[in-house]
Amino acid sequence: MRSLKNSVLALLSTTIIAVTASNIRQPSGGFDSAKYDNGLFAPFEDLHALSEREFTTLEHPLFPNYGVRIKESDFCDGTVKSYTGYIDVEARHLFFYFFESRNNPDKDDVILWTDGGPGCSSALGLFMELGPCRVTSPDNSIFNPYSWNEKANVFFIDQPIGVGFSYADYEEYVGTTEDGAKDVAAFIAIFFEHFTKFKGRAFHMASGSYGGRYIPAYASYVYDQNPKLIAAGATPINLTSIMIGNGCSDQITMIPSYYEMQCKSETVPPVVDISTCVAIKRALPRCQEWLKKSCDDITDSISCAAAIAFCTNTIEVPFYATGMNPYDISKPCDGLITETLCYPITNTIASFLDKPDIRRTLGVDSDHFTGRNFSKCSDEVGARFRANLDSVFPSPYYIAALLERGIRTLIYVGANDWICNWIGNQNMLLNLDWTGADAFKASELKEWKVDGEVVGLTRSAGKLTFATIDGAGHLVPLDKPKVSLELVKRWLAAEDL
C-alpha cells in the first residue's frame, strides 16, 4: 500500500550454527570464492530440520557480509509449514515470513511479496490480502482459502530497513530502491543455495503500490546477479516473472491520470466539483511539462521537488478534500487516513503483532522491539525516500529491460483504485519502449472471465500482460480474493487470461 499518511503529511559462510536471537554471529570478511570452489560450503538442505525454539544461521562465502537467521514458526496456516527469520546485513536486519505451498511445496513455484509505501510492512499484505490467514481481531486470525500459497511457496519481506520488524542497530538505513535491491537479491541467492530443492525453481517477484518502483529494480538486480553466481559455480536464480498490482511505477504518467479518475466517468461518476476539475485541467499541461523537464529529462532536485509539490497541490489535494477513499474511489475513507489508511483493520493487525506470544512465535528480536508498538508504515522510511526523490526514477526502463530478456510481466489493477490507477498504468505500458511495443499497442482490450463471469479487461503481447479487475480497488486480493487467486494461478501456469 502506498503510504498516503506520508503523502498527506508531506505536502517504505561456510559454517552453519544454531543460535538464539540474543546470540547472533554476524558474517564478516571479503569475497572468498575459493572456499566455495574448494567445496567447503555445506548447504543446510532441509527446511523441515529447522528448529522452532531457536534460529539457525545460514551463511554463504559469495555474500560474506550477509547471513540469514531462520526458524520454524508454525502459525497462521495449520495445513503447511511456515518459517520466519532475519536477513542480517552486518548491523541491519530484514524480517521475513515464508509459507510452503498448500499444493506441492516440493515442485510449486516460489513467489516473493513485499508491500509498498515506501515504508509499509508486508504484514499488511500477509494478514489482510494474499496471505494464508486473515487477522480479524487483536486476538484472532482465520484461515484464508484464497491465499496465494494455494499454488506457490510464498515469502513476505519487511523491507527496506526500518519497516515492520526490520531494523538497524546503528541507524544505518537505506534511502533508495536501488540500495534496497542489493539486500533482497543477496537474500534470495543465499536461501536458494542452502535449500537446494528450490534450485532452478521458477521464481516470481511481486508487490503492489510503491512496489511498482521496487519490483522492477529488485528483479533487475536478481537477473544481473546471475552471471556472478554462475561464474562462482553457484546456481542462477530462475527469475521467471514479475507481478505488480496497482503499482505506481511511473510518476510522469500517473499524476496526470488523477484528473481522468476524479473528473471523468472512467470507473465511477466524477467525485470532484466542476470548478475544481476545470482548474485541474488547466494546470495539467504545466504539471506534465515541469515533471518531464525537471524530473525525467534530467533530475534537478530543487526544480523536480517544486514540480511534484505543484502537481500534488493542484491535482491530488482536491481529491483528498472530498473524503473519498483514494484506494477505492467508490467509497468514503473509513476513519482518518493518517490513522487508518482508510482501512481500520490495519490497526487491528498492528495490535495483533504487538502481542508478546505472537512475537515469540515469530522470533521477533526482543532486544530491539520490547516496549515498541508495531508500526504498519514508517514515516521515517518514507521521508528518506522522498528526500532522495526516489519515486521519480523512470522504473519503466527496468520493466522494458526485463521484457527484452524474456521476463514475463503482469501489471494488474483494481478498476476502483485512484492512487495507482488503471489509466496511469495502461498509459505507462502504451508508452513503454521495447521490441513488443507495436504489438502491445495493437492489441485490443478484451474481457476476461472467472467461472463464466466477466471480471475485468485485459490486453497482452509477447511477455507483457495488463489486466483490470472490476469492483476492486488498490487491494485486489482483499476486495476480490477469488479473482485474485485465479489470476495468479493462471499466471503461474502461463495460461492466457
Burial 419-432 (b: 16+ CB within 10 A, else e): bbbbbbbbbbbeeb
In angstroms, rounded to a whole number, what is the distance separating the alpha carbons of residues 18 and 266? 56
User: What is the rounded distance in angstroms from the CA atom of residue 101 to the CA atom of residue 54?
Assistant: 23
Q: Report d(CA 307, CA 295) in Å as an integer.
A: 8
Q: Nine-digit cell at 118?
A: 515506501
Cα 322 to Cα 325: distance, rounded to the nearest angstrom: 9
Contact 199, 230 (CB under 8 A): no
Helical residues (DSSP H) of 85-153, grouped into ranges = 123-125
**Residue 137 pairs with which residues in a beta bridge?**
140
What is the grid cell recorded at 134? Answer: 486473515
Whether cis (ω within 30° of 0) applies to the bond prior to 118 is: yes
CA distances from 112 to 126, 153, 333 (A): 12, 9, 30
Q: What are the catalytic residues?
A: 209, 417, 474
Residue 242, classed as helix, strand or coil, is: strand
